[in-house]
Amino acid sequence: EPEVTQTPSHQVTQMGQEVILRCVPISNHLYFYWYRQILGQKVEFLVSFYNNEISEKSEIFDDQFSVERPDGSNFTLKIRSTKLEDSAMYFCASSEREGYYEQYFGPGTRLTVT
């Protein structure tokens, strides 16, 4: 069964450094998403992406964040200058269509900012 994959599984970085989290969505999916979960809190939506454009973003997704689909298979989340409060589990998801279709989630990348 096709799966969303994410690398790395765990990333440790120092405050102020840039990080890039990588995701490979399911191959025939067109809509891509990033979510995050700070330890002990709920899973929060960051951004959705379609046709090489952001279709929606949350208040969390400020200028420090960016997303890109650099090639036909990868979908990346970049945090330009990490803060301690960016420490969280970051989940990538993809869906065939937007709206009322299942979003398939990857296993997550645990980001630790020290």
**Between 35 and 65, whose beta carbon lies closer to other proteins?**
35
**Between 3 and 18, whose beta carbon lies closer to other proteins?**
3
Between CA 16 and CA 65 the distance in angstroms is: 13
**Between 48 and 87, whose beta carbon lies closer to other proteins?**
48
* Least distance (Å) between residue 10 CB and other proteins: 13
* Least distance (Å) between residue 84 CB and other proteins: 22
Cα separation values, 111 from 11, 14, 55, Å: 5, 10, 25
* Least distance (Å) between residue 61 CB and other proteins: 11
Between CA 4 and CA 107 the distance in angstroms is: 8
**Between 75 and 82, whose beta carbon lies closer to other proteins?**
75
**Interacting residues toward other proteins by CB under 8 A:** 3-4, 33, 35, 41-45, 48, 55-56, 58, 91, 93, 98-100, 102-108
* Least distance (Å) between residue 99 CB and other proteins: 3
Sole residue written with tokens 């890039």: 20
Cα separation values, 73 from 24, 32, 64, 86, 101, Å: 6, 11, 23, 26, 20
